[in-house]
Structure 1
Amino acid sequence: MPGCADAAARPELIPLCADHLALAAEVEGSVHGAADVLPAPCRLCGSRLGVRFLSGRVCAVCEWPYGEQPDGELPPPRVDVVYYLRFRDRVKIGTTANPRQRFGAIRHEELLAFERGDRRVEHRRHEQFAADRAGSSEWFAYSDAISSHVDALAAGVDPWDRWRRWVAEATATA
Structure 2
Amino acid sequence: MTACAVGDCERAAAPGAPAPLCLQHLALSADWVGQEFGTEDLLPSPCPACGSRLGVRYPSGWLCAVCEWAYGTSPDGALPRPRVDVVYYIRFGDRMKIGTTSNLRQRMAKLWHEDLVALERGGRARERARHAQFARARLGTSEWFELAPELVAHTEVLRAGVDDPWSLYARWISEAVAAHG
Gaps of 5+ in 2: none
- 1:14-163 matched pairs, under 5 angstroms: 14-84=19-89, 91-98=96-103, 109-110=112-113, 113=116, 115-119=119-123, 122=127, 125-126=130-131, 128-133=133-138, 139-145=143-149, 146=151, 153=159
In the TM superposition, residue 116 of structure 1 has moved relative to its aligned partner by 2.8
TM-score by length of 2: 0.62
Aligned length in residues: 167
Q: Classify the secondary structure of the residue corresponding to 1:24.
A: helix
Gap change, CA 1:126 and 1:11, over 3 Å in 2: same
User: Within 2, Cα distance between the matches of 1:74 and 1:162?
Assistant: 23
* Paired AA for residue 20 in structure 2: P
In the TM superposition, residue 28 of structure 1 has moved relative to its aligned partner by 1.8
User: Within 1, Cα distance between the matches of 2:28 and 2:44?
Assistant: 25
Gap change, CA 1:2 and 1:49, over 3 Å in 2: closer
User: Within 2, Cα distance between the matches of 1:8 and 1:125?
Assistant: 62
Q: Deviations over 1:93-149 (max 9, x none)?
A: 23343458889xxx96448535131157546644653431468x6745322434576
* Paired AA for residue 70 in structure 2: P
Q: Classify the secondary structure of the residue corresponding to 2:174.
A: helix
- Asked if 1:173 corresponds to 2:178, the answer is yes
Gap change, CA 1:6 and 1:116, over 3 Å in 2: farther
8 Å contact 2:56–2:63 — kept in the other structure?
Answer: yes
User: Within 2, Cα distance between the matches of 1:55 and 1:37?
Assistant: 16
Percent identity among equivalent residues?
44
User: Within 1, Cα distance between the matches of 2:126 and 2:113?
Assistant: 21
- Asked if 1:5 corresponds to 2:9, the answer is yes
In the TM superposition, residue 49 of structure 1 has moved relative to its aligned partner by 3.7
8 Å contact 1:32–1:53 — kept in the other structure?
Answer: yes
* Paired AA for residue 120 in structure 2: R
Q: Classify the secondary structure of the residue corresponding to 1:84.
A: strand
User: Within 2, Cα distance between the matches of 1:76 and 1:121?
Assistant: 22
Q: Classify the secondary structure of the residue corresponding to 2:56.
A: strand
